[in-house]
A and B are shown apart, each in its own frame.
Chain A
Amino acid sequence: MSVRLIDVTKIFEDPTRSEGKITAVDRVNLEVAEGEFVTFLGPSGCGKTTTLRIVSGFEAPTEGDIIIAGRRVNDDPPNKRDTSMVFQSYAIFPHMSVVQNISFGLELKGRPKAVVREETARIMDVMGLSSMAKRRPDQLSGGQQQRVALARAIVNRPKVLLFDEPLSNLDAKLRDQMRLEIRRIQQTFGITSIYVTHDQIEAMTVSDRIVVMDKGRVMQVGTPFEVYSRPANRFVADFIGRVNFFDGRVVEGGDPLRVDLGGKTVEVGSRVPGVVEGGRAVVAVRPESLRLHPANEGGPSFATGKVTKAVYLGSVIEYELDAGFDRPVLAVSHDPVDAGFFTVGDIVALDFSARAAHALASEILKPLPATSGIA
């Protein structure tokens, strides 16, 4: 079922601040389509969890509306909303067995006993929990507790499934596994899902679309490709992955855009609205998109630099270069065995393709106009 957030705002009273309040969520607009998996991504304190709690009903919005399946649910308490939450701490009932935990929701809905038993057994089968039905939560590993929490939420066939940083308590390997598992289960049942995380890789793996938030505001809504390769502003570009920013002036506003970077002109394949001919722009290039050649070979380049750091990581080699910009330039070279590698002190020429470059407005932060958040 679809979920719509219209101008959702949450202001907390906070007597310790001089204004006496803090705006945790600031006019958030979003439409999540049926069966879609949308992730709220942002640093801690950006308002993502508060937004999720507003959808679930644990917080009431100060302003704005929540529409689930076409119905305004602002006044429904959490127990009357058809949403199920997977909590960060799992929140498994410590005094109930696995099967009691999972069947709790169905029981409360007053389903016949046979149905409860059957549905619970089915979901435990799908989640690989059948062999531990009678176990107590304290006899389960972290990954198993996570599965119980997920099964307990899904068995109710909610209209919307909500995840509050569900993987943050697992170790790295298990996290990778559970990410794929969550995505698989969500696809199997086709449940509309909203997921909250501060981990960009997690967001990229599971989501159809990502909502990047900062200071209560939506910074960008887009597919994983869009937020990574076509960020809307410097905040998004910087928050998701690593990036080089080059300040320049737009000399030609056509397609491709031509930007002057301190003497050399480069071609830039994409841009955000507001980057216009004659104005300033910031060219964002990911480290892995930067090509390095020995400086004495000639060939196209917009700058030369000296390698100040080279870190060999096996599959890649990471460089830091001093190329006369105000910050060191980061570059990543894949398959160092085949491509060969530079060492500290080498002088290299830098280059990138127009497609890999993206021009941003030069203000540090420019959130999207509120309406463009709706897909």
Chain B
Amino acid sequence: MQRKPFARAVAELRRLRKDPVLAIMVAAVLAALALFIIYPLVMVVFASLRPDGKWSLGVVREVLGNAYLGQAFRNSLMMGTLTAVIGSGLGFLFAFAVTRADVPFKRFLHAIAIIPIVSPPFIGALAIIMLFGNNGLITWNLLRIQNFPIYGFRGLMFAQAITFFPVAYMTLRGVLESINPTLEDAALDLGGSRFKVFMRVTLPLAAPGIASAMLVLFIETLADFGNPLILAGSRFPILSVQAYLEITGMYDLPKGATLSILLLIPSITAWIIQKYWVSRKRYVTITGKPTRSSSKIVSPAARAAIFAGCLFVAAVVILVYVAIIWGAFAKVWGNDNTPTLKHFQYVFSVGFKAVRDTLTIAGLSTPIAGLLGMIIAFLVVRKRFPGRRFMEFTSMLSFAVPGTVIGIGYILAFNRRPLALTGTLAILLLNFVFRYIPVGIESGRAILMQIDPSIEEAAVDLGADSKTTFFRITLPMIVPAYFSGLVFTFVRAMTAISAAIFLVSARWNLMTVQIMSQVESGRLGAAAAFSVILVAIIFAAIFLIRALLRARYGRYGGSMLNF
């Protein structure tokens, strides 16, 4: 038994020797993953446990003994758990409304749940300040309350629920769509009441998907940096912000590193549970012929209630965006709402460099991350070689590592020769590429699983050599998926903040970081104008890519173009 993995590795190595191009590719990818994902994490651990060049638990003990930092740890876990529950609840509500309840305006509700995904993740926090803050539209202008206590738990909870419920929606919509409604019909037919059928059939079938959505939300909330930086305040410390403040405020790298490890442990744990346990528990509904959705599981009263709930959430989301857009054009938010363009003038004069830098960095890192993702997906799905599981694990690890941790890792790892990259474009690009490869890997894997290998064989059989086969058969088939994957990668690169905030410099700055500093210095109008431009760029890019794809590949049907 023990010899078998070894025998396999030997057989795989022997095969690899016959294919030197593949061998070089595998070696290069493995080396890059080790250098740009594993090495920075190791440096974080070293900074924490070997602060002065020798092993010591001193810093760890100091952090664990600090009541305030302990509070931050507990707060982070609590926010992660609560957002997981509330966000998944809202996501399920939307997904159920769209797939099962047959409510009106499904497309509108879908769009509402998608918009926050393609926006910077701290837009909710910014809007909350504008609506409920000291000069808030609702608290001050409407209700005349001064110093409404929005900072802390309440505001943050609200912002994170709005920010992350769409992530749960995306997962749960797929889960509910894959559950054949005839199963519910069958249960009704067997005499179950609607509520019983929902509790005994629909919910159990969706349970692994719900668990998965909750774990993903837990990870993302834990890693969230923008919302807590704006909203948490000093009386409600949050771990990711505290780690940042230790480093940028106190210049205490060992302490910041230790805090980021505290952040890393629960998110990696949740990710491993999600990846290796929950995702294996997915039910596959066995179906014969595809059936028309004919769900009758929702009573009229329940449908009305679900619809009302969705409309309420939709109204809140719309309010967020109205506040941002209005704020971008208002002279002095909360006091003088005369329309003006001065915030945009400010962005285009003082802040234009950040716009240009952001576009450069996102525009360069997106295609590279996408291509690297495709290559890794191709290697992992279609090839066998020693280290394949390591490659798969490491390349997907970025998803579980909070940006704060990897940001600290990069400043620790790449500040010395020969890799003295601090302050350069390169460090930002490398960080973005290796952070966002999981998106490319996922879309590459999905498309490669769909392509029947015999299609490529058919071309060879008809006389095509491997070059012709790749360019005339394989490439045209994967290009649409590649570009769809790029859309998400681009959105993530444009809205990144948690790792990037450690890596920006005077030479290379980002719009997201600019927005943060505008908020901190109280210039809400400028922050809103920046946000409007950022969202506008993202929308323009999405529509451009979709229009291009539709013109070129629309004839394949729309499935690849929707997201």
Give the interface of A toward B (CB within 8 A).
13, 15-16, 20, 56, 58, 77-80, 83-85, 87-89, 91-95, 104-105, 108-109, 136, 138, 152, 156
Contacts and interface: CB of A to CB of B under 8 A. Distances in A.
Interface stretch (B39-47, B327-335, B433-441, B462-470): B462-470
A362 to B, nearest CB: 40
Most buried by A among B4, B7, B457: B457
Given A56-B461, A94-B477, 6 more contacts: A15-B7, A78-B457, A87-B454, A89-B454, A105-B462, A108-B462
B455 A93 contact: yes
Nearest to B451: A94
A79 B8 contact: no
A95 B477 contact: yes
Contact of B458 (A20, A93, A136): A93
Nearest to A104: B462
Contacts of B556: 94-95, 138
Given A78-B457, A78-B461, A105-B462, A93 B473 contact: yes
A108 B458 contact: no
10 contacts: A20-B7, A79-B460, A79-B462, A92-B455, A94-B455, A95-B556, A108-B462, A138-B556, A138-B557, A156-B463
Given A93-B459, A105-B462, A13 B468 contact: no
Contacts of A58: 457, 460-461
Contacts of B8: 15
Contacts of A152: 458, 462
Majority SS of interface residues in chain B?
Answer: helix
Contacts of B452: 89, 91
B61 interface: no
Nearest to B7: A15
A138 B477 CA distance: 14
Nearest to B466: A79
Interface string B550-561: 000101110000
A79 B458 contact: no
Contact of A108 (B7, B457, B463, B555): B463
A156 B476 contact: no
A95 B463 contact: no
B383 to A, nearest CB: 16
Nearest to B455: A91
Contacts of A108: 462-464, 468
B557 A91 contact: no
A109 B458 contact: no
B476 A95 contact: yes
Interface residues of B, number: 24
Contacts of B11: 13, 15
Contacts of B458: 85, 87, 91-93, 152
B459 A104 contact: yes
Contacts of A104: 459, 462, 464
B461 A83 contact: yes
Interface string B1-41: 00010011001000000000000000000000000000000
Given A87-B457, A88-B454, A95-B477, A109 B463 contact: yes
B551 to A, nearest CB: 14
A181 to B, nearest CB: 20
Contacts of A91: 452, 454-455, 457-458
B11 to A, nearest CB: 6
A326 to B, nearest CB: 38
Interface string B492-519: 0000000000000000000000000000
A90 to B, nearest CB: 8
B4 A79 contact: no
A80 B556 CA distance: 31
Contacts of A88: 454
Contacts of A87: 454, 457-458
A92 B7 CA distance: 38
Contacts of A20: 7
Contacts of B454: 87-89, 91
A77 B466 CA distance: 11
A322 to B, nearest CB: 38
Contacts of A77: 460
A89 B458 CA distance: 10
Interface in B535-563: 553, 555-557
Contacts of B468: 108
A15 B555 CA distance: 44
A264 B464 CA distance: 66
A104 B10 CA distance: 40
Contacts of B461: 56, 58, 78-79, 83-85
A89 B8 CA distance: 30
A15 B8 CA distance: 6
A16 B557 CA distance: 42
B367 to A, nearest CB: 22
Contacts of A78: 457, 460-461
Contact of A15 (B4, B463, B473): B4
B463 A105 contact: yes
A243 B475 CA distance: 52
A330 B460 CA distance: 49
A84 B457 CA distance: 11
A83 B460 CA distance: 11
A80 B8 CA distance: 32
Nearest to B10: A15
Contact of B555 (A92, A105, A136): A136
A79 B7 contact: no
Contacts of A84: 461-462
**A87, A95, A105: residue with the most chain B Cβ atoms closer than 10 Å:** A95
Contacts of A95: 476-477, 553, 556
Contacts of B477: 94-95
A303 to B, nearest CB: 45
B200 to A, nearest CB: 35
Contacts of A83: 461
A88 to B, nearest CB: 7
Nearest to B479: A95
A83 B11 CA distance: 31
A91 B460 CA distance: 12
A58 B457 CA distance: 8
Interface in B414-473: 452, 454-455, 457-465, 468, 473
A317 B8 CA distance: 55
A91 B522 CA distance: 61
B19 to A, nearest CB: 15
A138 B452 CA distance: 15
B458 to A, nearest CB: 4
The listed residue with most A CB atoms (<10 A of its CB), out of B462, B553, B556, is B462
Contacts of B465: 79
Most buried by A among B452, B457, B461, B463: B461
Contacts of B553: 95
Nearest to A87: B454
